[in-house]
Structure formats: C-alpha cells, structure tokens
Amino acid sequence: MRRNNLLLIGSESHVCQDYVNRYKDTYDTIVGIDFPAESGLEHYLSVDFREDGSYEKIAHFLADLDKQFSQIVFAVGVNPMNDVFGVTIKDWDTTFDVNVKAALFSLKSAYDYFSPQTAIVLIASQNGVVGHSQRIDYGTSKSALIHLAKNLSVDYAKINDKDIRVNAVSPSYIATEENKDLLDSYFGKRLLARIPYRRFVSLEDVSHSLHFLLGEGSRSMRGQNLILDYGYTIV
C-alpha cells in the first residue's frame, strides 16, 4: 500500500505549522527539518544550512528513517531588511545560502527517498514577483527560488521511473499574531490600501493552496508559481 508521508523542510515556520494543524490526519508520517533545536514533531532534524556538512546530515537522517515521501514542502527562509545601500556581501551570501541553495541541495539530499509520485512545493514570496523597498537580497532570492521550480521541473521530466512535480507558492504579507501590531500600524494601513481587495493573506489561505499543489488535483501544474496576494501584484 502506498504510504502518504510528508517531509517539511522548514517545519517550524508559521506556514508549515498551520498546514500540519489542518492536515496532519491525512498523513501516515510527518518529518521535519529546520533550524530550531527542538520541535513538536516525532521525527525531526535540527540543521543549520549555512554550515558545512548540513546536507550530509540530512541524507543520513533520511537514510535512518528509511521512508519514502510523496509530498515535500520547502519553507526555510531568512528575511533581512536590506536595500542596495546597506546590504553587505555577508548578508547577500547568507540570504542565498538559506533561501535558494538550501532548497536545491536539501532536495538533492532527499532524492533517493522520493516516492514514485512526488509533489514538491517551494514557499517563495510576492517579493520575488514585484519590486519592494528593503528587499534587495530577499526579493532576488525568492525570484531565484521561483525559477528554481522551473529548472527542477525540466530536469525531473527526464526521469523515467519517478513522476516528480515542483511548483512554488508566493504569498503576500501573511497576517499572524506576531506581526499584528505591524499590520495594524500606519505602515500596515498603507500596505492594505494598495491591495485591491483590502485583505491580507491568512495562514489558512496558504495552507489550502499548499494542499491543492500537493494533491492530485494539480498534477498537470509543473514549474508554476501560484501567487496569493488578493491582487497586490496586479496593480
């Protein structure tokens, strides 16, 4: 019988935690990989993607679990507030190491444990679609992540014994308890005023979209970027 196992790379993010809370009962096993030392998940690896040997740790961890994953989410990311005048080489390298390099090489580490049919979703951002102040490294890294979904799809299409589909999802500002004060501030009201539908994206919006992209209903979508923004990027 086919096992429905989920691998969350960035499992401690708000997006992944909300998704698990809503859909955990649909999975046989949920496995997490992220920065924090501890997790509420039974199967979890703490790893710093900036350190040498991090991808070997992932490969050994997954080998010890000996499971195949039909669904994978990559949600690791750092979000520095940099513009062209303040960004440093160290900032730039760190952002790309975590936001882009980690996506590619963690998936390479996990490849042997992909199911014959595997759906992968990369969590990108509207900042990878439109320009924004103080996002010089973050926005560029998310653009690269969106394009990575396309290149991975082209490469995975050459595989005969597995059907691997990769897509990205790009949320706008996601309303959470942690950023409530920011979104209620003057800055937040200015942001809201430029959104045609005058709504911020919720974690529920993202989880439902993730569930769609991970499910069979999206099997014809390959290398696409699903934007969740209530119209932010269309004006």
In a domain, 55, yes or no: yes
Q: Could you tell me the sign of the dihedral formed by the alpha carbons of 103, 123, 210, 179, in that order? A: positive
- Give dist(CA 108, CA 81) in Å, integer: 30
pLDDT in tens, 175-218: 999 999 999 999 899 999 999 999 999 999 999 999 999 999 99
Domain that holds residue 132: 5-176+202-230
In a domain, 52, yes or no: yes
Contact (Cβ atoms closer than 8 angstroms) between residue 78 and residue 142 = no
pLDDT in tens, 113-151: 999 999 999 999 999 999 988 899 999 999 999 999 999
In a domain, 184, yes or no: no
CATH of the domain at 23: 3.40.50.720
pLDDT in tens, 80-111: 999 999 999 999 999 999 999 999 999 999 99
In a domain, 191, yes or no: no
Number of structural domains, the chain? 1
In a domain, 138, yes or no: yes
Phi-psi bin for 101: left (phi > 0), alpha (psi -120 to 50), beta? alpha
